[in-house]
C-alpha cells in the first residue's frame, strides 16, 4: 500500500465509520423521540457540564506553558488557549491533524520550533494516557465485584479462565518477541515504548512538575465532572451508580479516538456502557447525543472564533 492510499484511508475510514454509527444510533431511537429528549432536558446541568469542560480546556492551555518554558520560550496564554480550541476543531475533520495545527500555530505566532512544540504535545498526551489508565485501574478496584459478577453471569467460568490464560500467554510471548527480536516492527515498538517512558519521566524533571501534575489531575477531574453533571439533564440517567458513571466515561473517552471527535461513536459507546446497568436504549443514546452535541457546539464556536481572532490578536500584539 503506497503512502497516498494509506493517507486516504486514514482520513476516509473514520468518517465512514462515524456515518455508519450515526445511522446505527438513530436506528435505535426515532428522530422525534430524540428531539423530545433535547427539548425536555434540564439545560442548567448541561451548562454546568459545559463550564467543567471549558475549565479543563483552559487548564490544558495553561499546563502547556510549563512544557514550553524549559525550551527557553514564554508562551502567551491567549495564544495557547486559541491553539487548544483550534486543535479540537480541526480534529473533527482529519484525525490527529489538530495536533499538527496546534504546533504550527505556536511556531508561527510564538517562534517556537515546530519539532519542539510537537514534542511537548506528545509528552502531554503521554501524561493524559497515564491518567486515563489510572482511572481504569481505579474503576477496576472500586467496582471489582460488579465487573466480576457481570462476566461470571454472561460467560462460562471455565471458558473465561481459559481465555484469560490464553491472553496472558500471548501477551508474554509478544513481550519476549518485542524484547529480543531484531525485526523492524519489534525495533519500532521498542523505540515507541522507550519514548513513552522517557516522555513520562521527563515530566518529573520539569522545573514546575508539581504544577504540571496538579493541572493534569484537574483536567481529568473536570472531564469526569462534566460527564457526571450532565447525567442529571434527563431523568432516566439522573440516578446512575458510580460504576455506570466511570464505565460510561471510560467508554466515551475511547470512542473519541475511534472517529473524528467521536462523531457517531460517542452515543453508541454510551449506549453500550449504560446497557450493562439496565438503562433503556432510548435514554442512553439520547444522553450520548446530548453530551456529545453540547461539547461539540462549544468546540465549534470557540474553535472557530479562535481561528478568526488568532491573526488579529497577534497583529495587535
- C-alpha cell of residue 205: 524533571
- pTM reported for the whole predicted model: 0.83
Phi, psi of 92 (to 5 degrees): -75, -15
Asked if residue 124 lies in contact with residue 215, where contact means CB atoms within 8 angstroms, the answer is: no
Find, among 18, 81, 34, 93, the residue nearest to 55 by Cα: 81
Whole-number pLDDT of residue 172: 80
Please tell me whether residue 69 adopts helix, strand or coil conformation: helix
Instruction: Identify the DSSP state of 27.
Output: H
CA dist 136 and 158 (Å) reads: 25
Whole-number pLDDT of residue 5: 64
C-alpha dihedral (247, 253, 257, 260), degrees to nearest 10? 120
pLDDT in tens, 183-238: 777 777 777 677 556 655 666 667 788 899 999 999 999 999 999 999 999 999 99
List CB contacts of 47: < 8 A, sequence separation 6 or more: none
Neighbours of 123 (CB within 10 A): 20
Whole-number pLDDT of residue 237: 93
Asked if residue 242 lies in contact with residue 275, where contact means CB atoms within 8 angstroms, the answer is: no
Whole-number pLDDT of residue 195: 59
Residues of the chain falling short of pLDDT 50: none
Burial of 223 (0-12, 13-18, 19+ CB in 10 A): buried
Where in the chain are the domains? 15-316
Whole-number pLDDT of residue 166: 82
Percent of the chain with pLDDT over 70: 86
Amino acid at each position: 500500500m503506497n503512502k497516498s492510499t494509506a493517507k486516504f484511508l486514514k482520513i476516509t475510514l473514520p468518517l465512514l465509520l462515524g456515518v455508519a454509527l450515526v445511522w446505527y444510533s438513530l436506528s435505535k431511537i426515532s428522530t422525534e423521540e430524540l428531539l423530545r429528549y433535547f427539548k425536555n432536558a434540564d439545560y442548567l446541568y448541561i451548562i454546568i457540564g459545559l463550564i467543567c469542560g471549558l475549565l479543563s480546556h483552559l487548564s490544558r492551555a495553561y499546563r502547556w506553558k510549563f512544557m514550553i518554558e524549559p525550551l527557553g520560550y514564554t508562551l502567551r496564554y491567549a495564544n495557547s488557549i486559541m491553539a487548544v480550541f483550534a486543535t479540537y476543531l480541526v480534529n473533527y475533520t482529519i484525525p490527529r491533524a489538530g495536533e499538527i495545527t496546534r504546533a504550527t500555530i505556536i511556531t508561527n505566532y510564538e517562534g517556537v520550533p515546530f519539532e519542539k512544540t510537537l514534542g511537548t504535545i506528545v509528552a502531554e498526551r503521554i501524561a493524559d494516557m497515564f491518567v486515563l489508565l489510572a482511572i481504569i485501574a481505579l474503576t477496576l478496584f472500586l467496582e471489582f465485584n460488579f465487573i466480576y459478577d457481570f462476566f461470571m453471569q454472561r460467560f462460562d467460568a471455565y471458558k473465561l479462565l481459559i481465555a484469560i490464560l490464553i491472553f496472558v500467554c500471548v501477551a508474554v510471548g509478544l513481550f519476549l518477541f518485542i524484547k529480543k527480536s531484531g525485526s523492524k516492527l519489534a525495533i519500532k515498538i521498542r523505540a515507541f515504548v522507550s519514548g513513552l517512558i522517557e516522555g513520562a519521566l521527563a515530566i518529573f524533571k520539569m522545573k514546575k512538575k508539581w504544577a504540571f501534575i496538579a493541572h493534569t489531575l484537574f483536567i481529568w477531574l473536570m472531564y469526569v465532572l462534566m460527564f457526571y453533571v450532565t447525567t442529571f439533564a434527563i431523568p432516566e440517567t439522573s440516578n446512575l451508580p458510580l460504576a455506570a458513571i466511570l464505565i460510561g466515561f471510560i467508554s466515551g473517552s475511547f470512542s473519541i479516538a475511534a472517529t473524528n471527535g467521536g462523531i457517531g461513536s460517542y452515543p453508541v459507546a454510551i449506549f453500550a456502557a449504560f446497557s450493562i446497568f439496565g438503562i433503556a436504549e432510548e435514554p442512553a443514546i439520547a444522553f450520548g447525543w446530548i453530551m456529545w452535541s453540547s461539547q461539540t457546539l462549544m468546540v465549534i464556536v470557540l474553535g472557530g472564533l479562535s481561528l478568526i481572532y488568532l491573526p488579529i490578536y497577534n497583529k495587535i500584539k
